[in-house]
Structure 1
Amino acid sequence: MKTRDRILLPFTYDVDQMVAECKALELNQFEYYNVIPLRSPAHLVDSSLPFPPPADDFADGTWTDWLDTPELLKSPYILSIVNGFKEKIDVTLVRLLRLSAGAVVKEHTDPTLGLEIEKSVIRLTIPIIKHEKVDFYLNNRIVPMQPGECWYLRLTDPHKIENNSPIERINLTIDMRPNEWIKNIIAKSEVKVKEA
């Protein structure tokens, strides 16, 4: 059975603390799209570590070890969010995704970011800074994400973003290898959506 393409999960986070930590990182100006890694392949965080051996399949993140970056370690509240998941599940890539005012991310799919894919990771999205004129489309329908909420989105489906606002948009994304804990949370949250 296929999971719904968008599910609001029962986690909420303090927007003011996340915004303050983003500002404390003294993020550089950028033109269009900017990624700040918060958890990355170990050899990219610590240059003394060797490159991982070649992998036949990079889909689920097992090809490398993952480490928190200095930017994450300087952000105690966001680190606590990530650590809350790490206690329950294997967290891989964590990033702040910034989209500049007036920018558009064209429609695309991410072939390994869905529960239905056998060997994959899933991505949870937590909006931090979002103006009312920022629209995230999934399967041509707007996902009504609000700052501080946590969403599972089936990103193997077509999606795009339009930032028609005067400010940048920042999301925290947390990738993880799905286990029974997160599958159960998604399934219970999906039932609540169907009952509403």
Structure 2
Amino acid sequence: MTDAFHKLPLTFDIQRLKQDLRCLQKQSWIEHINRHAHDGGWSSLPLRAVDGQVDNATVVETNPGRYQSTLYLKQSEYLQEVLSSFQCTIVSARLMSLQAGQEIRRHTDQDLRFEDGCARLHIPIQTHADVEFKINDQPVHFAEGECWYMNANYPHQVVNGSDTNRVHLVIDCIVNDWLSALFSGSGYQTMIVEYKYGCASITDENVQQVIEQLEYLGSETALELANHYRAIWQTSKEQ
């Protein structure tokens, strides 16, 4: 049992997904903003974005009401059906592509854990057995047409060792009774995890960098937090 990823009991028509994808391939895909995690092979196409903007694929706005369908979604009959089948509030929805031979380096995202009220779901549209996907250093294969939850708070990485672009429909959902029942009914067990530094994204590997960034900010709150993390790190070294 793991809380890093979980397969949900949902499947979608892969041929209709691919048909919509073919119609959108020539649109203006946006290079992913996290350039620390890739070298240009990672891009996305917004289906639901802040104010419905087609040139904005970032997910930073926390108000779900700001997210609206884009022109790309309105042009995609089956993608509309897929999103409408989720009986919960959908915040962001994007097609995300990783080019053949490219990689997404190990990184974490924030506030995307089922237990925290927002779940990130993946529906692969185009993938391959040679795509290596690891979440919290655990390998997992998401097959075409399936629906998977991933705890994006954990470190994750992807290497596309195939000769085809990997494309996923990625949906961020607000957890409600319907989604909770879907998770529990498919065997997901809520796990209470105590993170050493208070969140999954800070580990012994990067805590020194986090401390330096906080000290650079220099505010009273940032310095208090830096001292807190340093105390935890030093205590663990002494044990």
Distance 1:60 1:9 in 2: 26
Q: Could you say which residue in structure 1 is the equivalent of 2:53?
A: 44
Task: After superposition, give the CA deviation of every residue in 1:120-172 in whole Å (9 maximum; x if it has no partner).
Answer: 52111000000111111011111121000000111111110010111100000
Q: Which residue of 2 aligns with 1:65?
A: 66
Which amino acid is the alignment partner of residue 9 of structure 2? P
In the TM superposition, what is the alpha-carbon distance from 1:44 to its structure 2 partner? 2.6
3-state SS of 2:73 partner: helix
Equivalent pairs counted in the alignment come to 176
- The within-5 A match list for 1:1-196 is 4-27=3-26, 32-42=41-51, 44=53, 61-62=62-63, 64-85=65-86, 88-117=87-116, 120-190=117-187
Q: Which has the higher strand share?
A: 1
The structure with the largest helix share of the pair is 2
One-letter amino acid of the structure 1 residue matched with residue 111 of structure 2 = T
Instruction: Please give the root-mean-square deviation of Cα atoms over the aligned residues, in Å.
Output: 2.5
Distance 1:136 1:26 in 2: 23
| Unaligned stretches of 5+ residues in structure 1 | 46-57
CA contact (8 A) 1:4 1:190 kept: no
Corresponding letter in the other structure for 1:39? R
8 Å CA contact 2:127–2:166 kept in 1: the answer is yes
Larger RCO (CA under 8 A, 6+ residues apart): 1
**CA apart distance, 1:28:** 5.2
**Runs of 5+ consecutive residues of structure 2 not aligned to the other structure:** 30-39, 190-239
Regions of 4+ moved over 6 Å: none
- Report the TM-score, using the length of structure 2 for normalisation: 0.67
Match of 1:53 in 2: none
Corresponding residue SS for 1:16: helix
Alignment-mate amino acid for residue 78 of structure 2: Y
Q: Secondary structure at the match of 1:122?
A: strand
Bigger radius of gyration among the two: 2
CA distance in 2 between counterparts of 1:145 and 1:63 reads 27
The AA in structure 2 aligned to 1:158 is P
Identity of aligned residues (%): 29
Is the Cα contact below 8 Å between 2:112 and 2:153 reproduced in 1? yes
